[in-house]
Amino acid sequence: ETGVTQTPRHLVMGMTNKKSLKCEQHLGHNAMYWYKQSAKKPLELMFVYNFKEQTENNSVPSRFSPECPNSSHLFLHLHTLQPEDSALYLCASSQGLAGESDTQYFGPGTRLTVL
């Protein structure tokens, strides 16, 4: 798990707050991902960045705004969230070179609670 780190590990925010989640990977990978894990639902892919370019936006509401300044860092900016956005947000990375057979490595997640 130390290959992909996420901060903060826990976050409580009000619906009018603005906050950011940070992900950093130390594996030399080129692709990074954001997932949402809600109770009793499968993991949902939110965004994919490949070589810093966004290649996937899985119909995510605009109150979630990703940013990938370089291949090692990925942010998820949050604003005007709803209580149903409370979930575990997971970051992952992969080499980005082997395509579909790449292995994704996950961070520990940020547990977000929206009041």
Does residue 87 touch other proteins according to CB under 8 A? no
The DSSP 8-state label assigned to residue 102 in this structure reads P
* Dihedral sign from CA coordinates of 102, 103, 106, 112: positive
Under 8 Å between Cβ of 5 and 93: no
The pair of structure tokens assigned to 82 is: 């709803």
Q: 77 forms bridges with which residues in the sheet?
A: 20, 65
In whole angstroms, the minimum distance from the beta carbon of 78 to other proteins comes to 19
The pair of structure tokens assigned to 64 is: 């979630």
Residue listed under structure tokens 């977000």: 112
- The residues in 4-33 that bind other proteins, with binding defined as CB under 8 A, are 4, 6, 31
Does residue 99 touch other proteins according to CB under 8 A? yes
Collapsed DSSP state (helix, strand, coil) of residue 61: coil
In whole angstroms, the minimum distance from the beta carbon of 43 to other proteins comes to 4
Nearer to other proteins, 6 or 71 (CB): 6
In whole angstroms, the minimum distance from the beta carbon of 97 to other proteins comes to 9
Stretch that binds other proteins, among 11-19, 69-77, 78-86, 107-115 (CB under 8 A): 107-115
Residues found near other proteins in the complex (CB under 8 A)? 1, 4, 6, 31, 40-43, 45, 48, 50, 55-56, 90, 92, 94, 96, 98-109, 111
